[in-house]
Structure 1
Amino acid sequence: MTAGPALDYTLDGDGPLYRQINRAIAQPILSGQSAPGTRLLSEHEFMRLFKTSRMTVNRALQMLADDGLVKRHRRNGTFVAAQIAEHSVMELKDIGEEIEAQGATYGYQLLERRVVKADAERAEQLAVKKGTLLLFVLCRHCRDDQPLLIEHRYINTIAAPACLDEPFTEAPPGHWLLDNIPWSRAEHIITAVNASPRIARDLDIQAGDACLSVERTTWQDGQRVTFVTLTYPGDKHRLVGTFAPGR
């Protein structure tokens, strides 16, 4: 285990101090600047750096540990966790870049965008109070001018308030989220479903046709940022996951 290079832990000034500290420490880990096994500064060093209490620093570090980004050892300190990418069932990739990397032409169409209040179901999915403002985006992704998937996405405007300023007419919300909100955890639920009349129309298939549904919840700093359902025609997509033994 090695000590990492000096890093510029810059606070962004957004929200409670412990969350700012959490994001400042998480950023170089998520970007790869802090490699697995790197020893972080001690709690007392972070206290001096951020001019705050041990309780605040401890809370920020514990959030990182809860998200699987670091391992904390009482005597030895805090280290960047090994094999972070292997904690997810599937990687979070930009759909457009993935299609173009296969030599195909990517197309995107915004079908609906509106601000809604969280009902009981959405409040539970995003761990927010009923009535919290969410941004709902419905869009279609195409491969070589053929519908590939329909995306139903809800974004927590508390976790990502800047999304309200984005029209998403030219690029999908997933692209914006990957560029602007470093994710620390993702959960996928994969099911076989039959196409509803609306899904069938949007995917240019028959109602009742077999489809593959991927439900994904994404977190940052222990806070749920977005819940999305991706629906693919059953004969046009496959999911590949790579796994390694737990460590």
Structure 2
Amino acid sequence: MGESGQAGNQDPKEPTLHQRIQGDIENKIVSGEWPVGFRIPFEIDLAKQYGVSRMTVNKVLTQLARAGLIDRIKRSGSFVSQPHTQSAVLEIGDIRSEVESLKLAYDFRVIERIKHRASPADRLRLEVPASASVMDVTCLHRAGGKPFCLEERLISLDTVPEAEDALFTEITPGQWLLRQVPWSSAEHRIHASAADAATAASLGVEVGTACLVIERRTWSNSGPVTQVKLTYPGDRHALTATFAPSS
């Protein structure tokens, strides 16, 4: 079949058909092109559109349903579900507190900690000059012994030089920064993403699994402090916010 033939010649850097279908549907949902309640095209129609088997489409829709992006109703079809996120997240949260609120044991480990000169991508992420020194820190947070969140953080050593000597063995990078640096402003970006091979391996999920991603940048009066990407398996996390009418 064309599906297996394409898979055999797949460039490792190119998304698989499974990932492409899932990504296309996620993007339509997240962008609002497919609003809440929108009926997803039937499996047979998606299979024809992408030239794959209905089984492949069924697996994609099953993953999206587990992630809470769609509702599958027997004999009626699949529909875009009400999103878990009720509004923008306004606080800089603590992952330990999130886990402990679930009555689960919390632990974390540092996977990688590297100091280097800011690359072009780093300068874009953190808005620092070409001469800036930065530190990459990657951590895995676990809940009840299972992967809960993958943290990929970039820290400006020009703004927070003390971070160069911090090992982050007893306290997470996020909590360490909150204790060391008074932040003045923050920016959040929340979106859905399909897990790539490295992310899937860290979180113990299949490649292409729908994940919830929170990206945040914080600044102090001295300049940019950190940019962090927090990736959660979509079926293990939801965001809520409490707010009141402005006076």
TM-score clears 0.5: yes
Which residue of structure 2 aligns with residue 215 of structure 1? 215
- Indicate conservation of the 8 Å contact 2:159/2:222, yes or no: no
CA distance in 1, matches of 2:160, 2:216: 17
Q: Structure 2: state its 5+ residue gaps.
A: 1-87
CA distance in 1, matches of 2:184, 2:243: 18
Which residue of structure 2 aligns with residue 70 of structure 1? none
CA distances 1:173-229 after superposition (whole Å, capped 9, x unpaired)? 001011111222111101100000000000000001100111000111162100000
CA distances 1:154-182 after superposition (whole Å, capped 9, x unpaired)? 00011111001101123210010111112
Which residue of structure 1 aligns with residue 120 of structure 2? 120
Q: Percent identity?
A: 39
SS of structure 2 residue aligned to 1:238: coil
CA distances 1:4-39 after superposition (whole Å, capped 9, x unpaired)? xxxxxxxxxxxxxxxxxxxxxxxxxxxxxxxxxxxx
Which residue of structure 1 aligns with residue 193 of structure 2? 193
Moved more, 153-162 or 164-173: 164-173
Which residue of structure 2 aligns with residue 100 of structure 1? 100
Larger RCO (alpha carbons 8 Å, 6+ apart): 2
Q: 1:243 to 1:210 in 2, by over 3 A?
A: same
Deviation at 1:234, TM superposition (A): 0.6
CA distance in 2, matches of 1:239, 1:224: 25
- Indicate conservation of the 8 Å contact 2:148/2:203, yes or no: yes
Deviation at 1:246, TM superposition (A): 4.7
Q: 1:122 to 1:244 in 2, by over 3 A?
A: farther
Which residue of structure 1 aligns with residue 203 of structure 2? 203
Counterparts in 2 of 1:67-106, with a 5 A limit?
Answer: 89-106=89-106
Aligned-pair Cα RMSD in Å: 1.6
Q: Structure 1: state its 5+ residue gaps.
A: 1-87
SS of structure 2 residue aligned to 1:229: strand
CA distances 1:118-175 after superposition (whole Å, capped 9, x unpaired)? 1122212222112411011001000000100100000001111100110112321001
CA distance in 2, matches of 1:162, 1:245: 41
Counterparts in 2 of 1:155-174, with a 5 A limit?
Answer: 155-174=155-174
Deviation at 1:90, TM superposition (A): 2.5
SS of structure 2 residue aligned to 1:96: helix
The TM-score with structure 2 as length reference comes to: 0.61
